Every structure is written in structure tokens, then in C-alpha cells.
Chain A
Amino acid sequence: MAKPKVPGMFKGLGVTFATLLATAKNGADTVQYPHEKETPPIRARGVIALHEDNCTSCMLCARSCPDWCIYIEGHKELAPPRRAGGAPRKVNKLDRFDIDYALCMYCGICVEVCPFDALFWSPEYEYSEPRIADLLHDKAKLGEWMQTVPEAPELEAGAEKKGKK
């Protein structure tokens, strides 16, 4: 039996009314944000965290950033040699590592490009500020975000195991 053709307008009325009833019965699809919070997916791009020990201030992230929102300053230091009697090693010491989240567009290129696994995505998203200047997160604050970085998911069988954070 062919269904009688319902004009689109009445179909639309039906859709809105069905949604109205469903919302009244089952509650809304949205959450009342400050009171209840949704858990973002584990790989959500909330904020970028810095694992300072891995950073060699190679500047790759700062140069690849489309917004130029990463500021890096550093100097060279002499570290004790690895073996007794060896020459002292030269290491890059990080003085400043700032990300300006007022500019950042969350493209994640810096995280991708980092050859030493110093940058990580964290799903944390509640860091808005009344003053725009406070969105410039410095080295210490970026380091604190490391606490919120979730464990990397298990690699697929046969995939190359990379260094952990």
C-alpha cells in the first residue's frame, strides 16, 4: 500500500512536535554546562601541555605554528659528561616557552612536528580568563597541564612502539 504523500510542511510540524514531546519526556540532548559537565573524548584537543625535560628548544614547533603563538627562548649550558673523563656535554636549556592561547587555533601542528615528544594534547578545556593577557600560558603552567594528559592508548599489534612521555 502506497503511503499517502504528506506535504513537507506538515511533516516538519510533526518533527518539531515529536522533538518537543521527546524533550519533555526524556530530557534534552544538551547538558546544563556549569552544573553538569560532559567528559570530552580522550583525544579531544583541549589544551597543549609541555613536557619540559624532553624539549631541546629546537624551535620546530614555533616555526611551524601558523599563528606564531609559541614563544621560545633558550641558552646553551654545559652538563656533566656521560662517562668519567669525557668532555662536558652541551645542552640547550629552556628559558621561556609560552603558548598564547588567545592566538592558538588548535591545529595541533606543533604537537605533530615535535621530534622529541615534548608537546601533548590534553582534553582539559576550562581555562578561559577574564583578561586576554592571562591566556598566555608560560612554561610552568604548560608543565602543569602534563598532569591532565591521558595515557597513550595501546598501539595496534605490529605497530612501532614509540618513546613514552
Chain B
Amino acid sequence: MNAVLFASDLPYWLQSIFRVLGGLVAVLLPAGTVVYLFLFKMLSFMQSRLGPMEAGPYGSMQLFAEVGKWLQKEDIVPANAQPEARIFKMAPLIVLASTFLLVVVVPFGPDALFTDFETGIFYALAVSSISVLGILIAGWASANKYSLLGGLRAAGQLVAYELPMVLAVIGVVIQAGTMNLQQIVVAQNTGSMFGWDGIGNPYVLTQFVAFIIFMISVQAELSQTPFDMPIAESELVSGYMTEYSGFRFLIFFIGEFATAGVFAMIASILFLGGWGVPFAWFGWTTIDSVDNWMNFAGPLILFAKMMALVFFIMWIRFSSPRLREDQLQRFAWKVLIPISLVNIMLTAVLKVAF
């Protein structure tokens, strides 16, 4: 975004400031919208109630009230966690850091991106596992058996579902022939199906199985119901978050929904064409011929696609009961991973055949 608006003649420090601000907006705006639109409003409507209505029109300022409330609360460190208080306090920041590191590779438009990694999706999948460390640290440092159980469950689950996620992405990578997220977007929007390029070639059509596996894994990575065994509020209080209060809980909370937003962005980039519209509509052929206004429309298009995907994540979350721990692991190892391996094989064969 900045590259277009200000070219690259800005001093490095100013560019960095713009990048940091852009990153904050890219993480917090989706998180706030997701929380208000889905957690507050959609969940309420699904339970035949209106949700927050008092703070601002239709309760739209409710989140600010909640954040204000959390910021006022005491930052409690349990007595047994005192010896490792520094680590205890660090854990939520690690979880949030992985979200911020994730958004770095997300392209928002032809020039609106933070970095242009050649191995973007590889980096994204690697960085998304950093949150496991934060969760494990949180669970262990809390010196609380519920937290420890929650942390271990989360670690087991996140490791188990990382695998089908990576394997699902491989199908897309094979088809696009690149790991660069920007080029994956371009490949989808310049693509054609049997010579017809009306809607490009979004990989959700060719890689539908991978898309489903990816979304299920995202659901598990975010530990949303039916995969919320690590939180399991009816048995583990709140899992690894039990002992956190005040702004450290807020950071966990933001991290959860910001990660939902960022994962949905990555899913829409991999499978739905990302920020792009089919290039054939406007007669573009390559990334360089894309008009400049896509730098402004692109983020909005990506945002719309993200919201659509988060809608499905949240819809399933609000409708499902919780899977048992063994069912959850069995589903990952015995169902998702074999299917995704078959998917990779088929994709590779078809790639060579065509």
C-alpha cells in the first residue's frame, strides 16, 4: 500500500512506521469486526436474543467498553507462578506475536504487501506454530492443573492438525507451482478453466478437498468448537487461559480472533483468489498490468472473502458440541491426513497429465 502511495523515496524509518501501523490495522480491524459481527451479534441472533445494544448504535461500541474494562483490571500473577512470573507474563505476547508475524506475508493488493516472500506459505505455516509455544508456556507457567491440562491438550491438538493443514496446502502449491502467496493469487486470477477465463481459476474448485481439510484444520488450530478441547470451559475452567486476567487475557482474546481473521485471509488467498478479481474482466494479463486502484479495492475484496470464511468458522463453532480428545486425535491422524495425502497424489498426477 505504502509503496504506491509514497513510492520508495520515503526514509526507511518512515516506511517502517507505516508498515507497523498497517500491520496493526491488518490484525486488529478484522479481529474487532469478527468479534462484534460474529461473536456478539451472530451468536446472539442464533440464540434468539439481540446481544449488546446499549454501547453505541446497536452495541457497536461494546468492544471498546470491554477492552476498557479489561485494561482496568489487575494483572494477577498466581502465588505458585511467582518464581517464573516473567515467563508467565510473556506467554500471551508470544501467542499474539505469531499472529502479527503471520500477517506479514499476506498480500492485500498488487503492491500492497508488507514483504514479498518467495516461500510465503511455508513461512506462514511455520510461524503459525509459534503460538503452540506460547500456549504451552502459558499452561505450564500458570502452576495450575487445569491450565497444564489445557496447554497439553492444545499442544497435542495443534501439532496434530498442523499436519493435514500443511498437506492440504501442498496441493495448492503443486497446482500453482509457487509458494509465493502473491503469485498464488495471480495464478488463480489469470488462470482459465478449459479456455474460459470468466472467473479465473479459483483453487476452491480444483482443490475442493484440500479446501475442506484446510478449513477443518484452521478450526482446530484456532481451537474453536468442535475442537475446543483445550479451552473446554465446562471441565477445564478456561484451559491455559485460566490464570490470566486483565490485559493479558485481553491479548489471548484478541489473539484468538485476530488469528481467525488472518487464517481466513490466508485461506481466501490460497483457495478463493485473494485480493484479486479475475484479471480477464479488466484486460490485465500479468501482475504488472493491474491498475493502481486495485491497491485500494484489493484489501476490501480480501476483507469480504475473509468475512465469508470466518462466517463459516463461527457458524460451525456456534452449532457444534465438543469432540472428545481421542475422537479429535483420531479424526486428524486417521481421516484428514490420509485424505490429504491422496489429494496430493492425485494433484501431482493430474498436474503431470495436463
Contacts and interface: CB of A to CB of B under 8 A. Distances in A.
27 contacts: A9-B226, A12-B319, A12-B320, A13-B315, A13-B316, A15-B319, A16-B315, A16-B318, A16-B319, A19-B47, A19-B48, A20-B42, A20-B46, A22-B48, A23-B44, A23-B45, A23-B46, A23-B48, A23-B49, A28-B45, A28-B48, A29-B48, A29-B49, A30-B48, A30-B49, A30-B50, A32-B53
Interface in A102-133: none
B286 to A, nearest CB: 41
A68 interface: no
Contact of A24 (B45, B49, B53, B316): B45
A43 to B, nearest CB: 26
Contacts of B44: 23, 28
Interface centre among B42, B226, B316, B319 (most CB of A within 10 A): B319
Interface of B: 42, 44-50, 53, 226, 315-316, 318-320
Interface centre among B46, B226, B315, B318 (most CB of A within 10 A): B46
Contacts of A16: 46, 315, 318-319
Contacts of B46: 16-17, 19-20, 23
A13 B45 CA distance: 14
Contacts, number: 42
10 tightest A-B CB contacts, nearest first = A23-B45, A16-B46, A29-B48, A16-B319, A12-B319, A30-B49, A20-B45, A28-B49, A28-B50, A20-B46
Nearest to B47: A19
Contacts of B320: 9, 12
A22 B44 CA distance: 12
Given A19-B47, A23-B49, 12 more contacts: A9-B320, A12-B319, A12-B320, A13-B316, A16-B318, A17-B46, A17-B315, A20-B42, A22-B48, A23-B45, A23-B46, A32-B50
Contact of B319 (A13, A24, A29): A13
B56 to A, nearest CB: 15
A24 B318 CA distance: 17
Nearest to A29: B48
Interface string A1-32: 00000000100110111011011100011101
B16 to A, nearest CB: 43
A76 B48 CA distance: 58
B126 to A, nearest CB: 32
Nearest to A17: B315
A19 B46 CA distance: 5
A49 to B, nearest CB: 33
